Amino acid sequence: MPRSVIWEDYNYLSGGYDEYFSNYVSPHSKEMVKKLSIEKGASCLDLACGTGVITVELARGTGESGKVISVDASRGMIEKAKEKISANQKVEFIRNDMFDALKTIKKESLDFVTCGWAIGYSSPLKLFKAVRPLLKQNGKVGIIENRQDTLMPLRCAGIEVMKRYPAHIRYLMVLPFYLPKSKEHLKQLYVSAGFMPLYLWEGEVEFNFKSGKDVLNWVLHTGASAGFDKVMDASIKDECDEAFIEIMEREHKKDGRITILHKFVAGTAQKI
Ligand SMILES: C[S@@+](CC[C@H](N)C(=O)[O-])C[C@H]1O[C@@H](n2cnc3c(N)ncnc32)[C@H](O)[C@@H]1O
C-alpha cells in the first residue's frame, strides 16, 4: 500500500484517534517514556508523533529549558498534537517522512529519540541505524510497537474477505512484516544497530465488542489498522463490510462478546 494512502487515512483518523486508540494504549506509551528518565534541558525527538501522546510527556520531562522536535507525515495528526502543547513548552513540529526528517537533524545533537506505534512503517533496523548517529554518546532511544502477532482476528477476517473478492484487491498491507516478533527480537534489533538494551517488555491491551459491527466501527476509527478499508476496491465496500462482520460474529464471538488482543512490545536502549 503506498505510504500516501496511509498518511491520508491518518488525516481522517486523527479526529477519533485518541478516543479509539490512545485512551487504551497511552498508559503503556507513557511507561516507556518514564523508563527513559528524561532530564530537564534535554533535546528530544519524537518520530511519528501522531496526536502527541509521547510528545507531551517529553515536553513535560525536558521542561522549559529543553527542546522537543516532533515529526509526523500526517497533517491531521500534527494539528491534534499541537492542541496539547502549552505556550511555555518548546516543541517544533515537522510534517515529513521520518527518514527524510532524520537527514535534516545535526549529528550527536539529541539526548532522547522515541517512536510510538510506528516503527513498523519502515524497516526498524534501518531506522535505528539512521537514529544512532544523531544521538549524543549515551543518548537513549525508546520504542513501543505492535507485536507481529497482534490483532490476529482482524487480520484473519481481512484475509477471508480478500479471498472472497480476489478481483477487487487494491493494495496489500505490509505493516505486519516489519513489526518486532517479541522483546527478544527488539533486543536483537537494538544490538545490531549499536545500542545497549536497557528495559524490554511485552504486554497486551484487551478490547471487547458486543458485535461484529462494533469491531468494524473500531477498525475504521483506530490507528491500529490505518489503511484497512483501502485494501479492497471502494465499489465493493458494502459487501466487504458485511463479510467482515459475518466472519467476526461466526469465528470470534464467544459468550456474547468478541475479544481482540492488541499485543505490543516496548523497549529502551542506550547508544554505545
Ligand atoms: C499509530 S500512530 C502513532 C502516533 C503516536 N506516536 C502515538 O504514540 O500515538 C502512527 C503515526 O505514524 C505516522 N507515520 C506513518 N508513517 C510515517 C512516516 N513514514 N513518517 C512519519 N510519520 C509516519 C502516521 O501519520 C501516524 O500519525
pLDDT in tens, 141-188: 999 999 999 998 998 899 999 999 999 999 887 666 789 999 999 999
pLDDT in tens, 200-223: 999 999 999 999 999 999 998 887
- If one counts the domains in the chain, the total is 1
CATH of the domain at 83: 3.40.50.150
- Ligand 1 binding pocket includes 116 (Cβ within 6 Å): yes
Q: What is the mean pLDDT of residues 227-237?
A: 87
Retrieve residue 7's grid coordinates. 498518511
Orientation angle between helical segments 75-83 and 3-17, nearest 10 degrees: 30
pLDDT digits (tens, 9 = 90+) for 80-138: 999 999 988 999 999 999 999 999 999 999 999 999 999 988 889 999 999 999 999 99
| Residue 61 Cβ < 6 Å to ligand 1 | no
40-95 pLDDT, tens digit per residue, is: 999 999 999 999 999 999 999 999 999 999 999 999 999 999 999 998 899 999 99
Q: What are the backbone dihedrals phi and psi of residue 230, each rounded to the nearest 5 degrees, phi first?
A: -100, -5
Residue 136, domain extent: 3-271
Per-residue confidence at 228, pLDDT binned at 50, 70, 90?
A: confident
How far is the C-alpha of 113 from the C-alpha of 69, rounded, in Å? 9
Pocket test for ligand 1, best of 29, 45, 74 (most atoms within 8 A of CB): 74
- Cell 466487504 appears where? 240
The Cα 67–Cα 55 span in angstroms is 10
Q: How far is the CA of 73 from the centre of ligand 1 (A)?
A: 7
Question: How many angstroms separate the alpha carbon of residue 253 from the centre of ligand 1?
Answer: 31
Tell me if 159 sits within 8 A of 214, measured CB to CB. no
Check residue 36 and give left, alpha or beta (phi > 0: left; psi -120 to 50: alpha): alpha
Q: How many CB atoms lie within 10 A of CB 81?
A: 24
Residues 6 or more apart in contact with residue 165 via CB below 8 angstroms? 232, 233, 236, 239, 240, 243
Q: Is 76's C-beta closer than 6 angstroms to any atom of ligand 1?
A: no
